[in-house]
Amino acid sequence: MIVGIPAELVSGEDRVAIVPADVPALMKMGLQVVVEAGAGMRAGFPDAAYVERGARTVASRTEVYAQADIVLKVRAAGADPGHADKERAMLRPQQLLIAFLEPLWEPRLAASLAERGVTAMAMELIPRISRAQSMDALSSMATVAGYKAVLIAAASMPRMFPMLMTAAGTVTPARVFVIGAGVAGLQACATAKRLGARVEAYDVRAAVKEQVESVGAKFVELPLETGSSEDKGGYAKALGDDFYERQRKLMAEVVARNDLVITTAAIPGKPSPVLITAEMVAGMQPGSLIVDLAAERGGNCALTRSDQIIVAHHVTIIGPGNLPATVPNHASQLYSRNLINLLRLLVKDGKLTVNMDDEIIRESTVVHDGKVVSARINDLIGAGTPVASS
């Protein structure tokens, strides 16, 4: 069987699905590897590096799709709506496509892959269970995003992060507040702490207090009844307008006393909850900064604009999109390893087996043998969910 690695087409998407160092792992599974020429170049992986590890390069993506039994990508279908029709036309029955597909945001684009008779697996649907941790690409990419968010902030703030004692006087440390203590939030806390800032963090899940403190941050406790804040797959779920309104009122004081606020709250398949209102921004000190990691889905700040930097009430608000792609070398290495670990479930002795009795495979498979097999996607389509604009 042949694994195909096409180049990514989304503007600014510099990651590649498989890095050269992981080609031997695929070959040990009994697979051959075909890479589109230049696919890894933007991430720092030249064609020669793939060839040295045993892969073949071909001149065009058409050749990749024509030869491959398994196609591995970073973004496809709803995660690349501008090229979805063209790529779908290149797929053929019985092929396996694995990528970020955004099936909860664009269910019809994901479901349209069924027309080609392929099997398609969405990396963002990997369940958050212990056995699947090594395949959890959302967590891998969140690690990169949390790290990069702090660096963006450090380069943009009008003050330095650490406390400095100099002959000219003492420089007080920056105060940083991270909202959301998932993978991205914890990495942001750790990075800001390493740079010398005083770090606070909040999460609706009180159980993460120990994790926050383990990276050197102080956990902010708000008197709120959160109930169950996770779905059965381990992902955050919406808690209702009344909850968010109470949360905003209690959080306003914490936001106002910090120089930098990093927000990370995202709900799969839904717009990001607004946690910081325009009034809260107005209450921040002039020169303060907000980095909103939920910008691609509307943002956690009411004033956020995706992929833009705006200034309101003398506060700078940065809404970066697709931060992992701005660190493509290491992001690709992490994502590639996630794919390798998933393929070890799917490929035995060089043969592909999609075992729907396996929870990881069942939960992440969107279409199989020409049918939508994901209950979540079928529910969205049945409810008449419109295709979201991207």
The predicted-structure confidence for 205-219, as pLDDT tens digits, reads as follows 888 999 999 999 999
Take residue 303 and report the two structure tokens written for it.
């004033």
pTM for the whole structure: 0.91
Higher pLDDT, 249 or 11: 11
Question: Would you give the distance in Å from CA 192 to the centre of its chain?
Answer: 20
Distance (Å, rounded) from C-alpha 102 to C-alpha 3? Answer: 22
pLDDT at 341: 98
118 neighbors 92 (Cβ within 8 angstroms):
yes
Is residue 195 predicted with pLDDT exceeding 70?
yes
Distance (Å, rounded) from C-alpha 375 to C-alpha 16? Answer: 30
**Core vs surface per residue 54-89: b (16+ CB within 10 A) or e:** ebebbeebebbbeebbbbbbbbbbbbbbeebeebbe
Distance (Å, rounded) from C-alpha 339 to C-alpha 18? Answer: 8
pLDDT at 389: 35
SS3 content of the chain, % helix, strand, coil (to 5): 40, 20, 40
pLDDT at 68: 98
pLDDT at 388: 39
Residue 245's pLDDT band, with cuts at 50, 70 and 90, is confident
Distance (Å, rounded) from C-alpha 132 to C-alpha 129? Answer: 5
Residue 83's pLDDT band, with cuts at 50, 70 and 90, is very high
pLDDT at 385: 45
Distance (Å, rounded) from C-alpha 22 to C-alpha 30? Answer: 13
Residue 384's pLDDT band, with cuts at 50, 70 and 90, is low
Half-sphere exposure of 258 (CA within 13 A, CB side): 28
Take residue 139 and report the two structure tokens written for it.
């967590």
pLDDT at 233: 52
Task: Cite the DSSP H helix spans in 220-327.
Answer: 241-256, 278-282
Residue 236's pLDDT band, with cuts at 50, 70 and 90, is low
Residue 177's pLDDT band, with cuts at 50, 70 and 90, is very high
Report, as residue numbers or ranges, the catalytic residues. Answer: 128, 133, 136, 139, 235
Query: What are 327-351's pLDDT values in tens digits?
Result: 999 999 999 999 999 999 999 988 9
